[in-house]
Structure 1
């Protein structure tokens, strides 16, 4: 068994695709409209679904926003240079909600960014 994808509901698919594909540099792997259900599914990631875990963006056509709730935590992404990555995200209009630095009670360098719907994305420095 392996994890295939994580799904998040998004209020504006175009804004979300811009964030995930341009700001976080993922690729749009596939997208399909379901007119009878009034929703669109878009899958984004850093590699093909056969070999990588991806994110499913679900856009229900009649819903502009969602309550995130207290159960959602975050999506984590490994990055080579967390400081340059955060600078680039800010330059592209992304929202960094926690600047890079050591995590509480540890030494791992992390940062947090927020997507257009308010979902938290944790960046973790993978190399020194």
Structure 2
């Protein structure tokens, strides 16, 4: 088994697509659900398949992200460069953080239009992509 993608319900599809496009996602496809509702599948250019789905149902109540969801983590190669690009695109990422000290990952946080928190992570040199069993030994 493997995780296919995360799905977010969004209030304003155009606003969310603008945000995630500025973050670097590309639209893979859109599925009309009727009544103005849509699913939109997104992926980063180097990914082989969709990794994020936006679900927009105009008749639903506004999105409430405070009911259990915490955050989405995204790996980046160069966090300083990424933050510069995000600022230029009009997004507001937070400052660099070093949650595990100077030898661990570097992170920054931002929030999408519906309040979903996103953690950007740059691993230190030599670290594997993602969190692996080696991080717990």
- C-alpha distance 103-65 of structure 1, shift in aligned 2 (>3 A): same
**Comparing both structures, which one devotes a greater share of its residues to strand?**
1
Deviation at 1:105, TM superposition (A): 5.8
Within 2, Cα distance between the matches of 1:84 and 1:64?
37
Deviation at 1:35, TM superposition (A): 1.1
| 4+ residue runs over 6 A deviation | none
Within 2, Cα distance between the matches of 1:17 and 1:3?
22
Q: Which has the higher contact order (CA 8 A, sep 6+)?
A: 1
Q: Find the counterpart in structure 2 of residue 101 from structure 1.
A: 97
- Asked whether the equivalents of residues 40 and 61 of structure 1 are also in contact (C-alpha less than 8 Å), the reply is no
**TM-score by structure 2 length?**
0.79
Q: Find the counterpart in structure 1 of residue 9 from structure 2.
A: 9
Q: Find the counterpart in structure 1 of residue 75 from structure 2.
A: 78
RMSD over aligned Cα, in angstroms? 2.2
Within 2, Cα distance between the matches of 1:18 and 1:82?
21
Query: Which structure is larger by alpha-carbon Rg, 1 or 2?
Result: 2
Matched, 1:116 2:74: no
Within 1, Cα distance between the matches of 2:100 and 2:14?
35
* 3-state SS of paired residue (2:16): helix
**TM-score by structure 1 length?**
0.84
- Asked whether the equivalents of residues 42 and 50 of structure 2 are also in contact (C-alpha less than 8 Å), the reply is no
Flag structure 2 segments of 5+ consecutive residues without an equivalent.
126-137
